[in-house]
Amino acid sequence: MATIIAPSILSADFAHLADEIKKVTDAGAEYVHVDVMDGTFVPEITIGAGVVKSLRKVTDAVLDVHLMVEHPETQLESFAQAGADIITFHVEATRHPHRVIQKIHELGCKAGVALNPGTSLSAVEELIEEADMILIMTVNPGYGGQKFIESMLGKIHMLYHMIEEMETECDIEVDGGINAQTSVDVREAGANILVAGSAVYGAADVAQAIKNIRGKEIFHHHHEDDDE
């Protein structure tokens, strides 16, 4: 599966979002990752549906909306109407994740389910069949520029095998501390959508940074009775 790069505009200049998005999509980024924070699920407040609506008018890129909010079920309609392509919510933020996925699909969007580093894969096992994407947080959500948590590699790999065993299709997105170095490890573990904020927007040459994060294509072999 080819790697998809999703620059996070959290590290962009909020006064020039249209230009900041053009910069990364011109450089080959397929998705634009929008971090929505509510000041409760995570400490900061960032972007709401109004901003997404404006961004929709200036880009054809896939708008990958990451909801770091409590009660995500109350926000789905506004973000779908604003033009989100993918809506990802945290499994920790709702009692009814399965229903939230259904609602996102009814609204015509792809559905992603995010897990904090401290949340076990068992929280999403029953959702994989229904979801389009599982987002493994590789830092604790809330801020850009944090250090990649190494122990998440095993989790990514386990998820990759889980999906393979279920013979279903489900993207694996990773978010937090992704750069040219950690990219190799997460892709080897099975991630195919890479979010990167500071490593993209903090670079002098954004196009080169995206190229470095994308790296060389990794081919996964299917292991039948291999229990590594």
Cα distance between residue 41 and residue 92, in whole Å:
9
Q: Which does 157 bind (CB under 5 to 8 A by kind): ligand DX5, Zn ion, none?
A: none
b/e code 16-38 from CB counts within 10 Å (16+ = b) = ebeebbebbbebebbbbbbbbbb
Strands (E), the chain: 4-7, 31-37, 62-68, 86-90, 110-115, 133-137, 171-175, 193-196
> Applying CB under 6 A, which of residues 23, 66, 110, 214 lies at the interface with ligand DX5?
66
Determine the interface stretch with Zn ion among 60-68, 83-91, 116-124, 126-134 (rule: CB under 5 A). Answer: 60-68
Provide the edge-to-edge strand list for the sheet that holds 193-196: 4-7, 193-196, 171-175, 133-137, 110-115, 86-90, 62-68, 31-37
Pick the catalytic residue from 38, 64, 171, 175.
Answer: 175
The answer to whether the CB of 100 falls within 8 A of the CB of 107 is no
Residue 66 binds Zn ion (CB under 5 A) = yes
Which secondary structure element, helix H or strand E, spans residue 22, and what is its range? helix 17-26
Which position among 141, 173, 185, 209 is part of the footprint of ligand DX5 (CB under 6 A)? 141
Active site residue 35: yes
Q: Could you say which of Zn ion, ligand DX5, none residue 11 binds, taking C-beta under 5 to 8 angstroms by partner kind?
A: ligand DX5
Catalytic residue flag (residue 60)? no
22 CB-near residues (< 8 Å, 6+ apart)? 58, 59
* Interaction of residue 33 with ligand DX5, rule CB under 6 A: yes
175 binds Zn ion (CB under 5 A): yes
Choice between 97 and 112, CB closer to ligand DX5 = 112
Smallest distance, ligand DX5 to C-beta of residue 184, A: 16
By CB under 6 A, tell whether 112 contacts ligand DX5: no
Question: Of residues 71-90, which lie at the interface with ligand DX5 (CB under 6 A)?
Answer: none
* Other beta carbons within 10 Å of 12: 20
Chain contacts with Zn ion (rule: CB under 5 A): 35, 66, 175
Chain contacts with ligand DX5 (rule: CB under 6 A): 8, 10-11, 33, 35, 66, 139, 141-146, 175-178, 195-199
Residues with catalytic function: 35, 175
